[in-house]
């Protein structure tokens, strides 16, 4: 585990240096991303001494920050014209962030073995591949949505995408990550909760799984806005086309399932975690209120509280992992 802490702290230092270089608006990376990298780097280094002393919360904070930092490099693979050096750096950063998470999750000290009298040896941690893969997936999905919700263009969508198409490409890139990781992460979370609260886990799954499936409709509408802009359509027409797609009965049904399902599902997951003490109760409370906070942020069209809301969901899922 300590190898992962050292590597994470080093990556945090790299984030501070690189983020400081990108704050200049003339640089390749947006200034907002540079500021976020500085914050992530400072947070990682600040948590390192606590993680070194064995504090679980610090370990989870470092894992979440490293994964969030790595995901800021994903757009390099989707946006045309990015220098090759940035693409290589993004790939290396993602690999190292996953390595940090694996090292810090797999080398957690196991409980004392019970059985033979006087035998106090600690067995090796031999988690199965699906166990640590699930532990990685559970926080990645919410983290991707946190970034997505922070950079998503405001309404009217056509004019906003035309003014800043790179932001919409970021939304699509992180949307793909979210679609591929939210569902398996939710399955892993429900599977864990089922061991302690079987009835509540059924209700959680009944809301959360369909809710995350319904999110595919949002990615489709975002893709329509991007495609219309790339084809040179008038921004007002792109806005009308996007609204028409959202008004389709099939899309409307999926969006309704998504809104109700993911909010109620996360609330129930937080309640189960609080009741069964699956994580510190303060973290469970933060997980419980995270998606109602997200709904409030959406209604107020405020990206900062939305980033905080999904960040709290990410933290709760990291603890649950």
Is the residue at 114 inside a domain?
no
102 and 185 co-located in one domain:
no
Measure the CA–CA gap between 158 and 156, rounded to whole angstroms: 6
Is the residue at 116 inside a domain?
no
Is the residue at 122 inside a domain?
no
Residue indicated by tokens 């994470």: 8
Mean pLDDT, residues 81-89 taken together:
77
Is the residue at 123 inside a domain?
no
Q: Is the pLDDT of residue 228 over 60?
A: yes
139 and 86 co-located in one domain:
no
Looking at 52-56, 63-67, 110-114, 208-212, which range is the least confident one? Answer: 110-114
Mean pLDDT, residues 31-40 taken together:
85
Identify the domain boundary among 46, 75, 109. 109
Is the residue at 314 inside a domain?
yes
100 and 149 co-located in one domain:
no
94 and 168 co-located in one domain:
no
Mean pLDDT, residues 222-231 taken together:
91
Is 0.85 topped by the overall pTM? Answer: no
Q: What is the pLDDT of residue 236?
A: 93
Alpha-carbon distances, residue 117 vs 112, 114, 120 (angstroms): 12, 8, 8
Is the residue at 118 inside a domain?
no
Is the residue at 272 inside a domain?
yes
Number of domains composing the chain: 2
64 and 207 co-located in one domain:
no
175 and 266 co-located in one domain:
yes
281 and 206 co-located in one domain:
yes
Q: Is the pLDDT of residue 121 over 80?
A: no
135 and 105 co-located in one domain:
no
CB 90 within 8 A of CB 77: yes
Q: What is the pLDDT of residues 124-140, one digit of tens each?
A: 444 455 566 667 778 88
Burial of 299 (0-12, 13-18, 19+ CB in 10 A): exposed
Q: What is the pLDDT of residue 130?
A: 58
53 and 173 co-located in one domain:
no
Q: Helix, strand or coil for residue 49?
A: helix
Identify the domain boundary among 44, 77, 109. 109
297 and 258 co-located in one domain:
yes
**Structural domain boundaries enclosing 311:** 129-321
65 and 155 co-located in one domain:
no
Identify the domain boundary among 77, 109, 141. 109
246 and 277 co-located in one domain:
yes
Is the residue at 191 inside a domain?
yes
What is 84-137 written as a DSSP string?
Answer: HHHHHHHHHHHHHHHHHHHHHHHTPPPPPPPSSTT--PPPP----HHHHHHHHH
């Amino acid at each position: 585990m300590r190898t992962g802490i050292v590597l994470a702290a080093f990556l945090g230092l790299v984030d501070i240096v690189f983020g400081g270089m990108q704050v200049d608006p003339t640089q390749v990376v947006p200034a907002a991303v540079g500021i976020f990298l500085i914050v992530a780097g400072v947070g990682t280094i600040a948590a390192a001494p606590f993680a070194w002393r064995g504090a679980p919360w610090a370990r989870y904070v470092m894992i979440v920050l490293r994964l969030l930092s790595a995901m800021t490099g994903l757009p390099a693979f989707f946006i045309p014209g990015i220098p090759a050096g940035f693409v290589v750096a993004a790939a290396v950063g993602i690999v190292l962030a996953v390595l940090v998470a694996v090292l810090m999750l797999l080398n957690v000290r196991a409980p004392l073995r019970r059985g033979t009298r006087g035998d106090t040896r600690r067995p090796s941690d031999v988690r199965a591949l699906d166990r640590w893969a699930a532990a990685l997936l559970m926080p990645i999905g919410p983290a991707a949505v946190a970034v997505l919700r922070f950079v998503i263009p405001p309404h009217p969508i056509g004019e906003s995408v035309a003014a800043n198409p790179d932001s919409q490409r970021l939304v699509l890139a992180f949307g793909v990550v979210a679609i591929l990781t939210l569902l398996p992460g939710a399955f892993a979370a429900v599977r864990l909760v089922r061991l302690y609260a079987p009835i509540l886990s059924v209700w959680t799954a009944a809301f959360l799984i369909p809710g995350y499936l319904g999110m595919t409709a949002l990615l489709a509408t975002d893709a329509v806005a991007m495609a219309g802009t790339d084809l040179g359509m008038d921004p007002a027409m792109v806005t009308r086309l996007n609204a028409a797609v959202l008004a389709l009965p099939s899309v409307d049904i999926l969006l309704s399932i998504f809104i109700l399902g993911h909010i109620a599902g996360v609330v129930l997951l937080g309640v189960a975690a609080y009741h069964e003490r699956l994580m510190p109760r303060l973290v469970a409370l933060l997980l419980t209120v995270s998606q109602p906070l997200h709904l409030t942020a959406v209604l107020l069209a405020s990206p900062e509280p939305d980033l905080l809301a999904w960040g709290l969901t990410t933290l709760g899922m990291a603890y649950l992992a």
